Every structure is written in structure tokens, then in C-alpha cells.
């Protein structure tokens, strides 16, 4: 009954309640700093460190700790963890108690990996926000490598949004040439791709294809077919699209669709609705680190 009554009060938080909550959280942080009422200690490697904590706080912050403390291993007063280094774990403990922690260019990769292991969703989002807010310094290439390694969905989504918005700059970078066909197709299929015209998208796809023409020949027609081909004029379709391997029929379909309106019911094009272009000038967009600056970070 006490739990049910407490939950009934939570939706009606007012200023006095916020003062109470803040005061309680400050007290809990004091207990942590002074190591009062500690009921569990973690032993971490690299370097070997003993880090005390409160089970209730950690269990409420993460299902990982909740499950751990309910297991036989979690009943021990000292729990050894080998999948997170001590510095990263200590920073994430701070997050469990305060909802904040120190994230830097140098530690954000390790922090994200550990936060995912420990199922600290809030810390994962903080790391992702940090990366997206410092993409020039962190570099898009490092972000892609981290996303591939962690399979972090929020990071994938943030990077996807970033490339959509900054496509005109990104497609000129070396990172763009290494995009997977699946990722590139998802980008060019989006109505939110920020370009000035469909020719920009075509040139980007062609540049990506020519980086490894032999290996990418088979996927090229699918990518070209994901363009808004009906936005390209007949001359462009004949001179540029039709000359690409496997794209001859696509060019002819687009010409038939654009030149004779009565053909449209009989001609199959994947996309015919124009994109929602919101192109920005170079002064208004955020440039990414490319070229020699990328190489220096590897």
C-alpha cells in the first residue's frame, strides 16, 4: 500500500516537492562522498580499484545492476567486474547518483561502450549527444567506427540525422566513400536529404560508386533507382544516367515518365515526389573534419 500511495503522489510534483527531491538527492550524494551506508563494493581493473556504492541507487539506475544484485554473484559484499575499467566505471557511478558526468573527446568512446554494457540508457544518450555536438573535433570517421563497434542505435540515428542535414559537405569527404551501400541507400531515399537539387545526389552516388566500381557495380542500379529520376531533365538522363552500367532502363523509364504524362500509370519509378529541400549555405552549416585532419586522428 505504501508503494502504491507513493506512486500516486509522483505525478503531482510542485515546487516544494522539487525542493524535497533536490534535498534528498544531495543527501544521497553526501552519503556516497562520505561512504556512509555503503552496502556493496566493486573491484575494477586497469588500474585495480575498489569503488563503493549503494545497491538501491544503482539498481534504480540500471536493469544491469538490478539483475546483478538479484543474482548469487550480486549478494557478495565485493563484486569483481572485468568488462569496464576503473576510471570509466567511477565516472558512470557519478552519473548514477547525479545524472551527469564528465565526458571528453578522449573518454567518450570508452564511456559509451561501458554505458551500453551497464545498460545506463541516460549515460548512453549523454555520450551520443556529446559526440554529435563535437563532431568536427571527434570526426565523422571515428563516430562511424564507434557506431559500427557498439551497434548503438541512438548513435546511428544521430549520425544519420547529421549526414542528412550536412550531405553537401559530407559527400565530399573521405568518410563518405566508405559508407555501406545500405547506409547510403537509406540516406538518398530520405525526403529530408538536404541538397539543392537531384543532380547533387546523383553526383554523390556516382562518386561513391567510382571509388570501387568493380565491387559496387551490382548495387548501383538500386541506388540510382532510389533517386528522384523524374526531377532530372532528358538530356541529363541520356548523357549521365543511361551511361552507367545497369541503369539504361532506369533512364528510359524516367524519360518516358517526364515527357508523356499519359505514360505515368504504366511506368514504374521508385520515387516521384520531390524532396523537401532545405538547403543551407556553407556559412550556415557545420563543416566536418576531413582530409589530413582525419588521417591524423587514426
Q: Which residues contact 227 (CB under 8 A, 6 or more apart)?
A: 188, 198, 201, 202, 205, 271
Q: Which residues contact 266 (CB under 8 A, 6 or more apart)?
A: none
- Tell me, yes or no, whether 83 lies in a domain: yes
When the pLDDT of each residue in the chain is averaged and rounded to a whole number, the result is 88
- Tell me, yes or no, whether 256 lies in a domain: no
- Tell me, yes or no, whether 215 lies in a domain: no
Residue ranges with strand state E in the chain: 40-44, 49-53, 78-80
- Tell me, yes or no, whether 224 lies in a domain: no
- Tell me, yes or no, whether 236 lies in a domain: no
Domain span at residue 69 reads 28-133
- Tell me, yes or no, whether 262 lies in a domain: no
d(CA 296, CA 289): 11
- Tell me, yes or no, whether 174 lies in a domain: no
**Percentage of the residues of the chain whose pLDDT score is greater than 90:** 72
Q: Indicate the pLDDT class of residue 276, thresholds 50, 70 and 90.
A: confident
d(CA 117, CA 168): 35
Rounded to 5 degrees, φ, ψ at 175 are -60, -35
- Tell me, yes or no, whether 70 lies in a domain: yes
Looking at residue 98, which CATH number applies to its domain? Answer: 3.30.710.10
Stronger pLDDT, 98 or 281, i.e. the higher one: 98
**Total tally of structural domains belonging to the chain:** 1
Model pLDDT for residues 91-104, shown as the tens digit of each residue: 999 999 999 999 99
Amino acid at each position: 500500500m505504501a508503494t502504491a500511495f507513493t506512486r500516486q503522489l509522483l505525478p503531482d510534483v510542485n515546487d516544494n516537492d522539487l525542493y524535497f527531491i533536490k534535498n534528498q538527492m544531495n543527501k544521497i550524494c553526501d552519503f556516497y562522498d562520505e561512504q556512509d551506508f555503503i552496502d556493496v563494493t566493486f573491484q575494477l581493473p586497469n588500474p585495480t580499484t575498489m569503488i563503493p556504492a549503494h545497491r538501491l541507487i544503482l539498481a534504480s539506475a540500471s536493469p544491469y545492476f538490478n539483475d546483478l544484485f538479484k543474482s548469487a554473484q550480486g549478494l557478495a559484499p565485493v563484486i569483481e567486474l572485468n568488462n569496464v575499467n576503473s576510471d570509466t566505471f567511477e565516472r558512470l557511478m557519478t552519473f548514477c547518483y547525479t545524472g551527469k558526468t564528465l565526458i571528453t573527446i578522449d573518454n567518450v568512446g570508452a564511456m559509451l561502450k561501458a554505458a551500453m554494457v551497464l545498460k545506463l540508457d541516460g549515460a548512453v544518450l549523454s555520450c551520443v549527444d556529446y559526440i554529435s555536438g563535437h563532431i568536427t573535433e571527434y570526426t565523422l570517421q571515428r563516430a562511424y567506427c564507434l557506431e559500427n563497434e557498439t551497434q548503438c542505435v541512438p548513435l546511428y540515428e544521430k549520425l544519420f540525422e547529421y549526414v542528412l542535414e550536412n550531405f553537401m559537405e559530407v559527400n565530399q569527404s573521405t568518410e563518405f566513400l566508405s559508407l555501406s551501400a545500405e547506409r547510403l541507400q537509406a540516406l538518398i531515399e530520405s525526403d529530408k536529404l538536404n541538397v539543392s537539387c537531384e543532380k547533387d545526389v546523383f553526383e554523390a552516388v556516382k562518386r561513391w560508386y567510382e571509388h570501387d566500381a568493380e565491387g559496387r557495380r551490382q548495387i548501383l542500379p538500386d541506388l540510382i533507382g532510389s533517386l528522384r529520376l523524374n526531377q532530372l531533365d532528358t538530356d541529363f538522363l541520356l548523357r549521365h544516367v543511361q551511361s552507367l552500367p545497369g541503369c539504361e532502363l532506369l533512364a528510359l523509364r524516367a524519360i518516358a515518365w517526364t515527357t508523356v504524362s499519359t505514360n505515368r500509370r504504366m511506368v514504374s519509378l521508385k520515387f516521384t515526389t520531390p524532396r523537401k529541400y532545405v538547403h543551407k549555405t556553407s556559412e550556415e552549416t557545420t563543416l566536418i573534419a576531413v582530409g589530413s585532419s582525419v588521417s591524423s586522428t587514426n
